[in-house]
């Protein structure tokens, strides 16, 4: 099995078992295919393990303190019994232990040699994967070898519906010191699934469950296929659980291969009356195929994905692995076929943030998909289209019109940010106040349309998002007659250390942008798609006068920043706050909280959690001069605590743009390795998937220097000395641009189905790229 794995540069390895790192590796080793993600827990389980299988889009609320992405049954679970003794890491001596995630092929490999109390040595080797070609099929392929004994062996395979989400809410008033082994058991847990059916089928077993509040039904058909040995098969069904056990005699030196195959469907995929037949058909077909026949199309799909999105860094294998690790996680968490699911802040790899979707999608991750997997980008935006009814309710509930997108979103577009922390001790204001998410979604729509040229999406769906978000702002902005301007008071910008501010520059600027762009595309529709516009006008009660009012309002939105100034005040009054200088940094050059700062005075100091003004300079690059970018980077970077993992990648990109190269490199390390080295200390909750998207942007928009300016691709790269060159690919207006950068030159190869030329800019100079030719451009 080991021989199946890719070259070393594509592998992430765990070479010894360590309890302390169990939950960390569970996150890191998540496998998935966009349909679901399954944490890298051990097949046989382990005390303190935090198993998790999350089916994209399957949410439930019921007794949990807020809507949860449901933890569904684990399709990997297996236990091996040798003459009645169970093999696990507690009761056996472990002679060898290694797990390897193959990023290139989406496979998790494991080898463990167990020595039980009777001295019997069993070698267990397995590969697990979520099939990327048949997205409803999941497999553990394992080989057992009796190294020094002959005995009766039983493999127990179950699908256990008794799974829970962790509420991270103490079940006890005063938190006692529980040992790490049992601590997850001591948190309160939420049940989301109830029994529908447990059955034995022709090929194995079938379990169907349903969510308690939401209407989802979930079916699992599972079987164990054993080859090359006489065996006895038994199945068991019980309430909320099914199982199959296979027993055989294993002779000294003999190896037996078996495969646990599971097919999963939900009522999100097919009518609930069809779930069982879909599951059993897929399972049946899989059982008839050989392991190679199932694996091959999976590998081909992975190959195609990497052809579209790989990034190469020559001269730095570690950095390259880290970048690919981030891309791997971006690939396994999004589903181009599902237009009603999105990406939670921890992807499908853990329960942090309950699977909720934030601005992380549009601002941090969407660029990766737009430029490498445009169909996935479209699907992610379709989720925003489909959740617009919830966003409309949200606007209406607050006395506004149009669509107000929720800060945290699950399956309906209604706000699901918890108003309180789980322990009930602290108020969470982001749901009420972080309004800027609404512009982020409009921004995502136009970034996608501009890069892909998919005006069909704009006409059919995107325009409605633009108009509804503009309508929201036009009803939400506060008119101040004394100054004749529009303001937004009591809001929260991206920097969450300041929770209640007036006229956040980031927020107001993007509102202005949202109103202006929406007006512009209204007129574009009028000219190019009048009948579709007429339909929308009728549905939304929109007309030219309303759109003229958006434009007029945009002109009068208060932005506390005057022409000729360089430093932008993050919000009104920010410059008057207390200055507490940062004086100490950790070994990664990340700041420690300075003396005098504490959790409760964060809004009285100029220290900030994450880029806010600097974010604005990045998001709207055309609107600010180099001098403004530099002055603000220097001022705000010195005050940023990077307490969000979203922060470092943006500081890489803007560091390069403002010639702060050393800092840019430090921030890059921080972003690219956030989960591999667990530098935020909470990787166990799930992958920091926005940082993964930010890392892609740091490579392409930072080092690679790519920016879209005036709707054109432009490049101004910079590489650190130790990198010989980098290369990446971009999808652009139905074509594909391959880019490579070294210190002295850039190379481009442009392909387009209609053989069109492409006009780009490199370091401010126009360059024309004829199709199918390698064009080299010298760099200054």
Which residues contact ligand BGC (rule: CB under 6 A)?
A: 345, 353, 358-360, 494, 496, 609-610, 644, 646, 690
Largest CA distance in the chain: 90
Tokens of 703: 């080092």
627 half-sphere exposure, CB direction, 13 A CA radius: 4
Residue 385 contacts residue 467 (beta carbons within 8 Å):
no
**Alpha carbon distance 345, 191 (integer Å):** 22
Minimum CB distance to ligand BGC smaller for 435 or for 525: 435
Phi, psi of 60 (to 5 degrees): -155, 160
Phi, psi of 438 (to 5 degrees): -65, -40
SS3 582: coil
Q: How far is the CB of 360 from ligand BGC (least distance, A)?
A: 5
Q: What angle do CA 314, 317, 318 make, to 5 degrees?
A: 135
SS3 70: strand
Minimum CB distance to ligand BGC smaller for 139 or for 362: 362
Minimum CB distance to ligand BGC smaller for 411 or for 496: 496
Taking Cα atoms as reference points, which of 398, 542, 430, 549 lies closest to residue 479? Answer: 549
Q: Which residue has the tokens 């090359």?
A: 228
Q: How far is the CB of 542 from ligand BGC (least distance, A)?
A: 31
Q: How far is the CB of 506 from ligand BGC (least distance, A)?
A: 11
Residue 637 is a catalytic residue: no
Q: Which residue has the tokens 């057992």?
A: 144
Minimum CB distance to ligand BGC smaller for 187 or for 407: 407
Residue spans of alpha helices (H) in 387-504: 388-397, 430-433, 437-452, 455-457, 463-476
SS3 761: strand
Q: How far is the CB of 152 from ligand BGC (least distance, A)?
A: 50
Minimum CB distance to ligand BGC smaller for 690 or for 746: 690
Q: How far is the CB of 698 from ligand BGC (least distance, A)?
A: 17
Residue 84 contacts residue 61 (beta carbons within 8 Å):
no
Q: How far is the CB of 363 from ligand BGC (least distance, A)?
A: 9
Minimum CB distance to ligand BGC smaller for 687 or for 741: 687
Minimum CB distance to ligand BGC smaller for 687 or for 699: 687
Residue 730 contacts residue 704 (beta carbons within 8 Å):
no
Residues in CB range of 48: below 8 A, 6 or more apart: 19, 22, 23, 180, 181, 182, 183, 184
Tokens of 741: 């950068």
Q: How far is the CB of 405 from ligand BGC (least distance, A)?
A: 13
Tokens of 186: 């001591």
Which of 139, 415, 464, 496 is labelled catalytic? Answer: 496
Q: How far is the CB of 644 from ligand BGC (least distance, A)?
A: 4
Minimum CB distance to ligand BGC smaller for 167 or for 360: 360
As a dihedral over the C-alpha atoms of residue 161, residue 276, residue 238, residue 222, rounded to 10 degrees, the angle is -70
* CA of residue 84 relative to chain centroid, distance: 42
Cα torsion 393, 398, 399, 403: sign: negative
Please list the active-site residues. 496
């Amino acid at each position: 099995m080991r021989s199946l794995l890719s070259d070393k540069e594509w592998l992430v390895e765990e070479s010894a078992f360590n309890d302390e790192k169990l939950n960390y590796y569970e996150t890191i080793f998540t496998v998935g295919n966009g349909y679901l993600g399954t944490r890298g827990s051990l097949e046989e389980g382990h005390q303190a393990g935090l198993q998790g299988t999350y089916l994209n889009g399957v949410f439930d609320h019921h007794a949990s303190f807020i809507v949860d992405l449901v933890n569904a049954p684990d399709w990997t679970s297996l236990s091996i019994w040798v003459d009645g003794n169970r093999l696990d890491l507690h009761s056996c001596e472990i002679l060898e232990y290694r797990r390897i995630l193959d990023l290139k092929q989406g496979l998790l490999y494991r080898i463990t040699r167990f020595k039980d109390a009777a001295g019997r040595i069993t070698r267990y080797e397995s590969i697990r994967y979520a099939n990327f070609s048949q997205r409803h099929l999941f497999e553990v392929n394992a080989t057992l070898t009796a190294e020094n004994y002959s005995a009766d062996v039983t493999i127990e395979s179950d699908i256990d519906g008794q799974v829970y989400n962790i509420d991270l809410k103490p079940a006890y008033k005063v938190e006692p010191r529980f040992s790490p082994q049992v601590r997850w058991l001591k948190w309160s847990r939420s049940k989301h699934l109830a029994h529908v059916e447990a059955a034995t089928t022709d090929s194995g077993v079938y379990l169907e469950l349903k969510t308690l509040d939401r209407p989802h039904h979930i079916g699992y058909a599972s079987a164990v296929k054993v080859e090359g040995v006489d065996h006895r098969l038994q199945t068991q069904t019980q309430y909320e659980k099914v199982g199959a056990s296979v027993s055989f005699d294993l002779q000294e030196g003999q190896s037996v291969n078996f495969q646990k195959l599971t097919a999963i469907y939900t009522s999100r995929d097919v009518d609930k009356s069809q779930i069982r037949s879909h599951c059993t058909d897929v399972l049946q077909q899989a059982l008839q195929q050989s392991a190679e026949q199932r694996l091959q199309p999976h590998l081909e799909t992975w190959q195609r994905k990497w052809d579209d999105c790989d990034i190469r860094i020559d001269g730095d294998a570690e950095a390259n692995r880290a970048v690919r690790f981030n891309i791997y996680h971006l690939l396994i968490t999004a589903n181009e076929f599902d237009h009603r699911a999105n990406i939670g802040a921890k992807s499908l790899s853990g329960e942090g943030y309950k699977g909720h979707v934030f601005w992380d999608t549009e601002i941090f991750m969407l660029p990766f998909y737009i430029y490498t997997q445009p169909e996935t980008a479209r699907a992610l935006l379709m989720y925003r289209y489909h959740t617009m009814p919830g966003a409309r309710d949200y606007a209406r509930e607050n006395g506004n019109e149009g669509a107000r997108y929720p800060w945290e979103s699950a399956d309906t577009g209604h706000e699901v940010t918890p108003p309180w922390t789980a322990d009930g001790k602290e108020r969470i204001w982001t749901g009420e106040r972080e309004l800027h998410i609404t512009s982020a979604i409009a921004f995502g729509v136009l970034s996608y349309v501009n890069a892909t040229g998919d005006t069909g999406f704009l006409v059919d769906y995107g325009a409605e998002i633009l108009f509804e978000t503009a309508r929201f702002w036009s009803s939400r902005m506060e008119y101040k007659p004394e100054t004749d301007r529009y303001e937004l008071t009591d809001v929260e910008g991206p920097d969450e250390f300041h929770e209640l501010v007036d006229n956040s520059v980031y927020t107001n600027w993007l509102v202005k942008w949202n109103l202006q762009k929406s007006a512009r595309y209204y007129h574009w529709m009028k000219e190019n798609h009048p009948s579709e516009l007429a339909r929308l006008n009728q549905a939304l009660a929109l007309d030219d006068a309303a759109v003229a009012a958006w434009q007029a309002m945009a002109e009068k939105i208060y932005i506390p920043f005057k022409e000729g100034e360089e430093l932008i005040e993050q919000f009104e009054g920010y410059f008057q706050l207390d200055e507490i200088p940062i004086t100490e940094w950790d070994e990664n050059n990340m700041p420690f909280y300075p003396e005098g700062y504490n959790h409760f005075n964060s809004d009285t100091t100029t220290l900030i959690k994450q880029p806010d003004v600097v974010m604005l300079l990045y998001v709207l690059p055309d609107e600010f001069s180099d001098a403004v970018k530099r002055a603000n980077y220097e001022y705000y970077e010195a005050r940023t605590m990077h307490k969000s993992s979203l922060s470092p990648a943006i500081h890489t990109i803007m560091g390069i743009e403002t010639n702060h190269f050393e800092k840019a490199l430090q921030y890059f390390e921080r972003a690219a390795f956030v989960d591999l080295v667990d530098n935020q200390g909470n990787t166990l909750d799930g992958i920091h998937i926005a940082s993964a998207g930010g890392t892609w942007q740091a490579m392409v928009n930072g080092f690679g220097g790519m920016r879209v300016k005036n709707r054109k691709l432009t490049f101004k790269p910079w590489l650190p000395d130790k990198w010989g060159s980098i290369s990446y690919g971009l999808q652009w207006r139905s074509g594909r641009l391959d880019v490579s950068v070294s210190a002295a030159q850039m190379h481009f190869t442009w392909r387009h189905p209609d053989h069109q030329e492409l006009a780009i800019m490199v370091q401010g100079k126009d360059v024309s790229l004829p199709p199918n030719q390698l064009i080299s451009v010298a760099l200054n």
